[in-house]
Structure 1
Amino acid sequence: MKRLIVAAGGGGDAVAAAMLHAALYGDDGGPALILTYSWDRLIVDPVPGPRSPADFTGLRQLTPHVWAVPGTATLKPPHAATLPRLAAELPHTFAVIDPYAGAAGITRQLNELITRFTPETIDLLDVGGDILAHGDEPTLRSPLADALTLAACARTETPVRLLVAGPGLDGELPADVLRPRLGPLLTTFTPEHAQVILPVLAWHPSEATALLTATAWGARGLCEIRDAGLPVPLTAEGPTVHQVDMAGAFADNRLAQAVADTTTLHAAEEHCRTICGTSEIDYERAKAQRRSEQRPTAAVPHDLPTQIKNFEQAAATRGITHTTVRRLAESLGLTHEALPHLTPLNPAHDTRLPASVWKLHHTGVQETWPS
């Protein structure tokens, strides 16, 4: 494989890696090797934190410490993950980042892959740009995964190119904060590039990558994401990809600096709590505990259309034009199994938006679809 792409935060970054490959490399060299976390939010995986190779059955060993996830792989209960289905539907090879050995372990994984495959290009891709955090930003919510991959890539034996797509689309660092930290524009995603992953986004719950494709199609407005309802502007800056100086990003990221020598995920979490105040896994643990104490909600409430209408009316008063299916599902207390039932009710299902992006009725904002 000529191309190695590291998905900085896993999840949607792994999906976006397929779009990046289409935009930059096309069919040159065949499919890529995409190294990614298996780290799905609680709407998919009821167990907080990332999955390790030991949580899977049916993996394929690539190197002593790297395992590929074929489409036939399964998860040991009670774990769940989107990665096997992603591997089944996209032509690329997906391999699991194992953060339980800390940043030092991820560096070892990378060096083994570089030795084994000698790729012509190595890209570290982050959608949204929170990988460029310094660690003290009040809007930062999930810095740990990105800090670990940034530290690992900064210390590999072979140079890695750092790329940020969709500045601000993850709802963490606003585009205005990110803009001075970005490097030159590398490319801008087009509808043709977005089409490569559009079928995946019919079921994959990624929000930032869904907004990346939506803006590539021309969606504009203000979108609410996550359970907290973070407002994310959809602008012409959304589908852009920027190259960033790796050494500078690593030097400016206090958390990445702190975790660079860690050999366990526990140690990395301790640094995250010290520098950022908390760890995203702590947030997931607390959320999972709250869910366990709540009365289970029926997968598909009988009054679902009415609940959706009430949500839309309230969102419109906040100036919102779009939301995500994940945000809507969590707001209504729905389970992951209910997501397919939302799709037919989505007013955007007959447009060129990803199925996971929900366009509110009667917002007065028109998309500028490319011809």
Structure 2
Amino acid sequence: MTRLLIAAGGGGDAIATALVHAALHGPDTPALVLTYAWERLVVDPLPGPRRTTDFTGLTPGSGALRLVTPATAPRPPAGSLLPRLATQLRPALGLLDPYEGTVGLARQLRDAAAHCGADRIDLVDVGGDVVADGTEPTLRSPLGDALALAACARSGLPTTVHVAGPGLDNEVPLPVLLPRLGPPALRLTAAHTTAVGRVLDWHPSEAGALLVAAARGVRGVCGTRDAPEPLALTAASADVHRLALDRALDLNTLARALHGCTSLDEAEKASVEVCGFSEIARERARAARGEGAVPPALPFDPAAFATWEDGTAALGLEYVTTRRITEELDLTPAATRDLRTWLTTDDPGRAAPPLWRLRPR
């Protein structure tokens, strides 16, 4: 049997799902991770998730299942990091296409289970927005998680929900989140992170980076690009909480509203009704403003970094993600590689993979 897992959120959640799979079943146990191709605009300039027709080279599986392989490629102008992930993650990857809503996703899940010979699903979310009720003022991206949760319920397959790294996505405040989760079921360790190798040397997922860092024992105050407030990495940041599917559905108002939806447009309207906003509409607005455009091809400037580092450390931060550095300094991929080289040679003690220690001067 091949284990069947679902990465509940965007493309970066596949990394955390591989980590949780290693902890639950062992890294060498055959597994298939189903994930959305839903990337930030600098990776994919098209708002919203991608569908199967946005790719070439997907491998057909049973029924509606489509597998992502190293030979898969997005059709321009779409972009996706999933083909590159498929070269480095141990579990196989399958594409979740949400354009036929919960009904279509449930069909994909049943077909994936038949392909794997699996009789159950492990649904994995990083941070905890899979148990958001839609009223949290810091909630930013509930739709993918809610669709996946609703699809699991509609599929009829027994499902266990796993929340890894509570609060690491900064969407549901910890005082609100932790009572919903109950006690942790397990704690990730550095040994589990071998399942993701050096993926986070290039992948921009901040929640994934924080989860890996916590599992490796990094502790302290960390700043990310998307979060309005810094995050404190503690031992509990590496915890994984386990919930029954019914419990998660009781908490997630949006998932219940999506039970019979048959299109992504319908799901988006439900998000507006339940949560008061559509994250896809927000992406459309950012794209219209030109956000996510590739920055000018300027070289990495150590002096500019030093000025940035002093100001960032003054905020009380001890660690930062690569994404925060690159986006706040408008670094191109080539300049980012120069940054990594310089940080490592300037002071090897800066590296706290996949984070960086700040060394104000």
What is the TM-score of this pair, normalised by structure 2? 0.93
Q: Which residue of 2 is the match for residue 6 of structure 1?
A: 6
Q: Which residue of 1 is the match for residue 324 of structure 2?
A: 327
Letter in structure 1 aligned against 2:338: H
Q: Which residue of 2 is the match for residue 214 of structure 1?
A: 213
Moved more, 234-243 or 117-126: 117-126
Letter in structure 1 aligned against 2:358: L
Is residue 2:74 matched to residue 1:69? no
Corresponding residue SS for 1:116: helix
Letter in structure 1 aligned against 2:166: P
Instruction: Report the CA distance between 1:337 and its aligned residue.
Output: 5.3
Structure 1 residues 230 and 338 mapped into 2: Cα distance closer, same or farther (>3 Å)?
farther
Corresponding residue SS for 2:93: strand
Give identity over the alignment, percent.
Answer: 46
Is residue 2:318 matched to residue 1:310? no
Instruction: Report the CA distance between 1:216 and its aligned residue.
Output: 1.1
Structure 1 residues 281 and 339 mapped into 2: Cα distance closer, same or farther (>3 Å)?
farther
Structure 1 residues 23 and 352 mapped into 2: Cα distance closer, same or farther (>3 Å)?
farther
Q: Deviations over 1:274-303 (max 9, x none)?
A: 222222222222222222698x6323345x
Letter in structure 2 aligned against 1:268: A
Distance 1:2 1:158 in 2: 15
Instruction: Report the CA distance between 1:90 and its aligned residue.
Output: 2.1
Q: Which residue of 2 is the match for residue 258 of structure 1?
A: 257
* Residues 129, 170 of structure 1: 8 Å contact kept: yes
Q: Deviations over 1:164-195 (max 9, x none)?
A: 00000111112222110113422111111112
Q: Which residue of 2 is the match for residue 366 of structure 1?
A: none
Is residue 2:356 matched to residue 1:358? yes
Q: Which residue of 1 is the match for residue 36 of structure 2?
A: 37
Letter in structure 1 aligned against 2:49: P
Q: Which residue of 2 is the match for residue 158 of structure 1?
A: 157
Extract unaligned runs of 5+ from structure 1. Answer: 364-371
Distance 1:213 1:145 in 2: 22
Distance 1:254 1:67 in 2: 29
Instruction: Report the CA distance between 1:112 and its aligned residue.
Output: 1.7
Q: Which residue of 2 is the match for residue 188 of structure 1?
A: 187
Letter in structure 1 aligned against 2:124: L
* Residues 216, 239 of structure 1: 8 Å contact kept: yes
Q: Deviations over 1:43-90 (max 9, x none)?
A: 211211111110110111112211001111111111111100111112
Letter in structure 2 aligned against 1:299: A
Q: Deviations over 1:85-124 (max 9, x none)?
A: 1111123210000011111111111112223333154200
Distance 2:329 2:90 in 1: 35
Distance 2:195 2:95 in 1: 22
Distance 1:228 1:237 in 2: 19
Q: Deviations over 1:192-216 (max 9, x none)?
A: 1112213111111111111011011
Letter in structure 1 aligned against 2:21: H
Q: Which residue of 2 is the match for residue 93 of structure 1?
A: 92
Is residue 2:125 matched to residue 1:116? no
Moved more, 240-249 or 283-292: 283-292
Corresponding residue SS for 1:63: coil
Corresponding residue SS for 2:61: strand
Moved more, 203-212 or 329-338: 329-338
Distance 1:245 1:181 in 2: 12
Structure 1 residues 202 and 160 mapped into 2: Cα distance closer, same or farther (>3 Å)?
same
Extract unaligned runs of 5+ from structure 2. Answer: none
Instruction: Report the CA distance between 1:229 and its aligned residue.
Output: 4.6
Is residue 2:246 matched to residue 1:247? yes
Q: Deviations over 1:151-174 (max 9, x none)?
A: 111222221000000000111112
Structure 1 residues 185 and 37 mapped into 2: Cα distance closer, same or farther (>3 Å)?
same
Letter in structure 2 aligned against 1:320: L
Structure 1 residues 152 and 362 mapped into 2: Cα distance closer, same or farther (>3 Å)?
same
Q: Which residue of 2 is the match for residue 368 of structure 1?
A: none
Corresponding residue SS for 1:237: helix
Instruction: Report the CA distance between 1:25 and its aligned residue.
Output: 1.2
Q: Which residue of 1 is the match for residue 55 of structure 2?
A: 56
Aligned residues: 359
Q: Which residue of 1 is the match for residue 146 of structure 2?
A: 147
Corresponding residue SS for 1:327: helix
Corresponding residue SS for 2:323: helix
* Residues 346, 359 of structure 1: 8 Å contact kept: no
Corresponding residue SS for 1:39: coil
* Residues 350, 359 of structure 2: 8 Å contact kept: no
* Residues 59, 67 of structure 2: 8 Å contact kept: yes
Corresponding residue SS for 2:356: strand
Q: Deviations over 1:208-235 (max 9, x none)?
A: 1110110111111121213455422111
Is residue 2:340 matched to residue 1:339? no
Q: Deviations over 1:238-279 (max 9, x none)?
A: 111110122121122111111221111111111112222222
Structure 1 residues 86 and 349 mapped into 2: Cα distance closer, same or farther (>3 Å)?
farther
* Residues 68, 86 of structure 2: 8 Å contact kept: yes
Instruction: Report the CA distance between 1:139 and its aligned residue.
Output: 0.6
